[in-house]
Amino acid sequence: MVKCDKCGVETYMPFKCNYCGGYFCEQHRLPELHDCKGKYDQTRPSTVQVGEYSSSGGFYGNYSTSRIIRPFWFSRKELRDLAIGLLVIVTLPFIKVWSYFYIQPLFVIGIVTILALAFILHELAHKFAAQRLGMWAEFRLSTTGLLATFLSFILMQTSVLPLMIVAPGAVMIAGLLNWNDYGKISIAGPATNIAQALIYLFAHALVLPESVLGVLSIYGIEINAFLALFNLIPFGVFDGMKIYKWDKRVWAAAAITAGLLVLFAMMI
């Protein structure tokens, strides 16, 4: 691991500043966030170096990739991490509702599918938004995120939390971004969940509220709206911090929309 030159936090995937040459964590990777002393002019490098860091801090580049990243491209490691993350998201809710499978199989399959889509589409939205801007972007599992997911599932069983926190990992991005790029990539995930919640809201208006599809639509609204609202927290490594610093109006619009959708689902 390498220590961040700004805060001293050790990280497995540090980011090297192209201007001052320092190594920084995810939170301080941008020149604006680590008081960069180099010549910072908002330009981007023509290539992005992708590789691994040794325990002594040395960098072993695997390859340099053009800033024009192939869209919709996945590495084997990323596909493995996505599959594990998706397996965790699918298995945990199934454990809770498996006893209903023989009574209401459509309900069980629906709940699992809603959670899986909420997670996978959120992460893919971040990835594709970054790739569109010419950045290297891949999903990686997170030990902390996996523990938070498992802990929230346990707390949900005791009614301490209303919903499970879905955070087994995150999309890692390499390349120099300005605040405009950072904001667009960050808003992509919560916006995708809000869009899903609105789709479920529209579906709810078309079916009987007491039917299986009616109940599933409410869960779809609640799960996606809660996930969007959770990620919009303007603190730490959450998407909300980056969005808030980029454009407070965009952050407020997204947070209010997600909050209203959560309230609507809880009141029905």
**Which residues are designated catalytic?**
123
**Cα–Cα distance measured from residue 139 to residue 87, given in angstroms and rounded to the nearest whole number:** 14
Q: Are 199 and 160 in contact (CB under 8 A)?
A: no
Q: What is the CA radius of gyration of the chain?
A: 20
Q: Residue 44: which residues within 8 A CB-CB, separation 6 or more?
A: 67, 134, 175, 176
How far is 60 from 16, CA to CA, in rounded Å? 13
Q: What is the DSSP string of 167-204?
A: -SEEEEEES---HHHHHHHHHHHHHHHHHHHHHHHHHH
Closest by CA to 184, choosing from 246, 254, 253, is 246
